[in-house]
Amino acid sequence: MASTTAFEQLRTTRPRATPQRGHAESVAVPADPVQAALAHLAAHCRKMPPVAALGVRPLGYDGRSLRLGAPLAANVNDKGCAFGGSLGGLMTLAGWGWVTLRLQLQGLEAEVYVADSQVKFIAPLYEDLVAEAMPAAGESWETFLETLDRYGKARIAMQARVPMPAGGEAAVFTGRFVALRPMR
């Protein structure tokens, strides 16, 4: 994959929360828009039964890439490693989640769909799953937004991977996602 070095530079964002005024310390609201958007994404994932069954949770967003995780125990196959469908699903969700998160951070409403994708399975994974997604090389978020504004729909190519704990990749993904603005 051409931009593997970009993936190697990922940082995990740690959640930061601030108590909401007038509430006890145990009730917290995210302190910044990224944390609020990650919390919204997590809640959205829990509402989709197949995604909830995977145990998907946002791990962080660093301004360039989104990281999602899922426990191996909920995604294990008959060989004791990660189920291929779970790997493909998690990478698809990471690409979808990246577009959804960025739209939310822009204050834009749109439905995001996967248009097409390709997955390559490279090695068995015997650890919890982590998928990292970002736009494919040469893609422009600004062009995507301009197209969405002008036509009410836009597409963007994304790439994702599931890294191995000791280095390398368990699987890689490429796909296109489409955003459609609500009809007015």
CATH at 171:
3.10.129.10
* Token digits of residue 41: 């994404």
Q: What is the pLDDT of residues 76-94, one digit of tens each?
A: 999 999 999 999 999 999 9
pLDDT tier for residue 183 given thresholds of 50, 70 and 90:
confident
Give the per-residue pLDDT at 38.
96
Tell me if 46 is assigned to some domain.
yes
**Which domain, by its residues, includes 133?**
4-12+30-180
3-class SS of residue 95: helix
Tell me if 24 is assigned to some domain.
no
Tell me if 161 is assigned to some domain.
yes
- Region 2-8: mean pLDDT is 34
DSSP 127-155: S-EEEEEEEPTT--HHHHHHHHHHHSEEE
pLDDT score of 5 more than 60: no
Poorest-confidence range of 15-24, 48-57, 98-107, 167-176? 15-24
Tell me if 23 is assigned to some domain.
no
Tell me if 17 is assigned to some domain.
no
Give the per-residue pLDDT at 184.
63
Mean pLDDT of the chain: 87
- Region 29-56: mean pLDDT is 91
Split into its structural domains, the chain has a count of 1
Whole-number Å distance between alpha carbons of 153 and 175? 17
87 against 26, higher pLDDT: 87
How many percent of the chain have pLDDT more than 70? 83
How far, in whole angstroms, is CA 177 from its chain's centroid?
A: 12
Q: Do the Cβ atoms of 156 and 98 come closer than 8 Å?
A: no
1 against 184, higher pLDDT: 184
Tell me if 115 is assigned to some domain.
yes
14 against 111, higher pLDDT: 111
Whole-number Å distance between alpha carbons of 60 and 79? 30
Poorest-confidence range of 23-37, 54-68, 124-138, 144-158? 23-37
Specify the DSSP class assigned to residue 83. -
Tell me if 20 is assigned to some domain.
no
Tell me if 88 is assigned to some domain.
yes
- Region 7-32: mean pLDDT is 42
Whole-number Å distance between alpha carbons of 170 and 181? 35
Give the per-residue pLDDT at 182.
86
- Region 45-55: mean pLDDT is 95
Q: Do the Cβ atoms of 124 and 170 come closer than 8 Å?
A: yes
116 against 7, higher pLDDT: 116
